[in-house]
A and B are shown apart, each in its own frame.
Chain A
Amino acid sequence: GENVEQHPSTLSVQEGDSAVIKCTYSDSASNYFPWYKQELGKGPQLIIDIRSNVGEKKDQRIAVTLNKTAKHFSLHITETQPEDSAVYFCAAFRTTSGTYKYIFGTGTRLKVLA
């Protein structure tokens, strides 16, 4: 069945250090992988995404990498700041025929310590 595993569930880093969150998906037909940041009491906010024809994408301090063969994708945040503290969710989506839904990972609670 469709499944996205996300690790770690919690992550604490010192301000200025890097944070890495990893996800593994099961549906080989998935071809779009967004990452969302959710702050307390708010809805998930799309922060970066990657499509299966790309191996890496970067936007300022955040980057996402994708290994299609291993069905892994990761979020990298460099030079972390206290405002990066939030819950981060990865998701996998297939845009070919069949199921049209985002399958989310279980989330990673990131704490950036000042």
Chain B
Amino acid sequence: GNSVTQMEGPVTLSEEAFLTINCTYTATGYPSLFWYVQYPGEGLQLLLKATKADDKGSNKGFEATYRKETTSFHLEKGSVQVSDSAVYFCALRHTGNQFYFGTGTSLTVIP
């Protein structure tokens, strides 16, 4: 079946540190891959997406590359800010419109 496995948190970083949140997936065929971010008390917001192998999604300094050979979609940012503190969810969509989400990784950035 389809599933997403995320790096467990919580993750605590100092401002301007480098961020990596690991995400691997299980799916047949060629799913689309997404990163969503959830701020306290809010719903999920799309951060970036990639729809085919070797695509790189990017937004607000975050990047993730769709790696079919390793079934991964790791999220990276070169220099995090306090405002990046949130929970990050990796997700895939295979057929239809059903999304499969990971359990989320909580990030706290300290000044």
Q: Are A and B associated in one complex? A: no
